[in-house]
Structure 1
Amino acid sequence: MKKVIAALLILFASLFLGSREGSAFLLDAECGRSLPTNAKLTWWNYFDSSTDIQANPWIVSVIVNGKAKCSGSLINHRFVLTAAHCVFREAMQVHLGDFDAWNPGQNCSSGARLSNAYCVRIDKKIVHAGFGKIQAQQYDIGLLRMQHAVQYSDFVRPICLLINEPVAAIDRFQLTVWGTTAEDFRSIPRVLKHSVGDRIDRELCTLKFQQQVDESQICVHTETSHACKGDSGGPFSAKILYGGTYRTFQFGIIIFGLSSCAGLSVCTNVTFYMDWIWDALVNLSA
């Protein structure tokens, strides 16, 4: 029996060993690649610019009772990374690919494969054991296992996570959101929006939100579009050079911001939790 379990773990691990640099390896060798957008985007015109799902094929909508509640990111064929507070007791689905942000329930009602997208039921959920025990927003990280593996395409592809080695320090991130864009929560975009955020001193967020923002979190300032209702669980990301290719890596998970949806956001520091992510994937796949 022990030999069978060991063999299964080796088989599971081999799914992620497609790209190595020393002892480090990408969680999924096909990660972080996307088709370019039609528009030429720079740091100066990136703010509030509409994008398309092919430019961000890892973006996931988290559906609960037919409604889009949160966002997430595809990290391999079977798993979605999101915030712990986005993991609900009710039956959940995730929607990946080219979908209608205004009517997710209609597209997800059958749980079937759509033209360029997947709507898949969640069969296992996990949140960090520390979530809710110290402060409301500490350990705010969770994983969703889809009922079946999804095939990659131009519209569906994982974001990069690096195992066994920290990625380079990044101070500027890309935020790609579906959620509301105004404090009254009535302005919901139908298409993805880009924004750029800069890492700032955690003490500023600690003072602003009147709760401790520690090394397991990142404090981010954005000039225009911000994390808002419906964006929780979505990725803060950046392109970095790895193995001679620029790929998109995830650095943060959106967890909360100002009620005005302006200025400051706090996200879970993904690199802080890489050991937890790896252990959880192994346990959920056993």
Structure 2
Amino acid sequence: MKWLQYTLSISLIVISFTPTYHGMEIIGGHEVKPHSKPYMASIQIYDMTIGHYVHNCGGALIERRWVLTAAHCKSSELTRVVLGAHSLKWNEKSQQKLAVKKQHSHSQYNENKHANDIMLVELSSEAKINKYVNLLKLPADKGADVEPGTRCTVAGWGATKPNSNFASDLLQEVDLTVVDRKICNYIYRGNLNITEDMICAGDGQGKESAYKGDSGGPFICKGVYKAIVTAGPDIPNANQPGIYTLLSKKYLAWIAKVIGVQTYNMTAEELY
């Protein structure tokens, strides 16, 4: 019923466009069971003004040396990835803090259009797999689409209140509903084209949202890793769902190519 109300409200209301932003946060969610999502990664940058690392984006560990995130999370600042965390405030024994070797953003990433907003972060050393740190498998369905009305989950350490610049200490999650592309394109008409490589999702009430600091995090539907948090409205809006980069066939091929090439080069160097 909520989904029907959401659809009707969109079709009946004349919607004014609110600019989207890069950097999302969990609004209206709840704390996850500690270490129940061992694939979650906190991508952090070194803040010179305060003298320590701060959370910038989320991501998912897909291989021992690779974290998948959003291209707009790329930073020229000193960057590291923290795995095995529940609290970012406390130096938990479960945490692994790894330096970043290289950031591989998609060559056709377009910031204004939110197109190809996908990036692989190559770690300087392998993550140690255990009960606190584990891999999130890429979809085995060759990038199949997600049906409108499907309930999916987003997790992250983004701020929990609108207009806040402070990351959440504890990992949060929220459930959202996938919105039909035709409806989403109507909402963003003239400002953004929702392509077949994107999906939209929201709660229809403007109370729950992947919203700052949660960009790049995994969007999981029925237990399957389906998309990456990309963008959303400046303030949670019942009539404006967030945008996610679908792990489509072309992106799965891109991931395989990047990881494959890097693995091949590393092996060749070791041989010589």
Structure 1 length-normalised TM: 0.71
Amino acid at match of 1:121: A
Residue identity in the other structure for 1:254: V
Counterpart of 2:180 in structure 1 is 201
| 2:219 maps to 1:225 | no
Query: Among the aligned pairs, what percent are the same residue?
Result: 24
* Structure 1 residue 102 displacement after superposition: 4.0
In the alignment, what sits opposite 2:17? none
Distance 1:262 1:72, change over 3 A: farther
Determine the C-alpha separation between the residues in 2 that align with 1:213 and 1:167. 16
For residue 80 of structure 1, the aligned residue among 57, 64, 67 is 67
Say whether the 8 Å CA contact 1:200–1:219 is kept in structure 2: yes
- Aligned: 1:211 with 2:192: yes
State the secondary structure of the residue aligned to 1:203.
Answer: helix
Structure 1 residue 260: deviation in Å? 0.8
* 1:275 maps to which of 236, 247, 253: 253
Residue 236, structure 1, aligned to residue 219, structure 2: yes
Identify if the C-alpha distance between structure 1 residues 262 and 190 changes in structure 2 by more than 3 Å, giving closer, same or farther.
Answer: farther
Give the Å deviation of 1:189. Answer: 2.6
One-letter code aligned to 1:208: I
Instruction: Kindly indicate whether the alpha-carbon contact (under 8 Å) linking 1:255 and 1:266 is maintained by their aligned counterparts in 2.
Output: yes
Q: Alignment RMSD, CA only?
A: 2.2
Deviation at 1:63, TM superposition (A): 0.6
Letter in 2 for 1:225: E
Displacement of 1:230 in angstroms is 0.2
In structure 2, relative to structure 1, the CA distance for the partners of 1:164 and 1:99 (3 Å cut) is closer
- Counterpart position of 1:190: 169
Which residue of structure 1 aligns with residue 104 of structure 2? 126
Residue among 95, 98, 103 paired with 2:85: 98
1:194 and 1:225 in contact (8 A); partners too: no
| Counterparts of 2:166 and 2:72, CA distance in 1 | 23
Aligned-pair distance for 1:153?
1.3
Q: Could you tell me which residue of structure 1 aligns to residue 233 of structure 2?
A: 258
Contact 2:59 2:68 in 1 (8 A): yes
CA contact (8 A) 1:163 1:274 kept: no
- Partner amino acid, structure 2, of 1:129: S
Q: Which runs of 5 or more structure 1 residues have no equivalent in the other structure?
A: 1-46, 108-113, 240-247
Provide the rounded CA distance (Å) in 2 between the counterparts of 1:136 and 1:168.
Answer: 20
8 Å contact from structure 1 (residues 78, 145) kept in 2: yes
What corresponds to 1:89 in structure 2? 76
Runs of 4+ residues deviating >3 angstroms = 162-170
1:173 aligns to what? 152
Which of 133, 145, 163 is 2:122 aligned to?
Answer: 145
- State the shift of 1:99 in Å: 4.8
Q: Distance in 1 between matches of 2:64 and 2:129?
A: 8
TM-fit CA distance, 1:92: 1.1
Q: Which amino acid in structure 2 is aligned with residue 179 of structure 1?
A: G
Assess if the C-alpha contact under 8 Å between 1:180 and 1:187 holds in 2.
yes
Counterpart-to-counterpart distance in 2, 1:191 and 1:197: 20
CA distance in 1, matches of 2:182, 2:106: 24
Contact 2:227 2:244 in 1 (8 A): yes
| Unmatched tracts of structure 2, length 5 or more | 1-27, 47-52, 265-272
| 8 Å Cα contact 1:225/1:262 also seen in 2 | no
1:147–1:53 Cα change, 3 Å:
farther
Q: Distance in 2 between matches of 1:173 and 1:189?
A: 21
- Structure 2 length normalisation: TM-score? 0.74
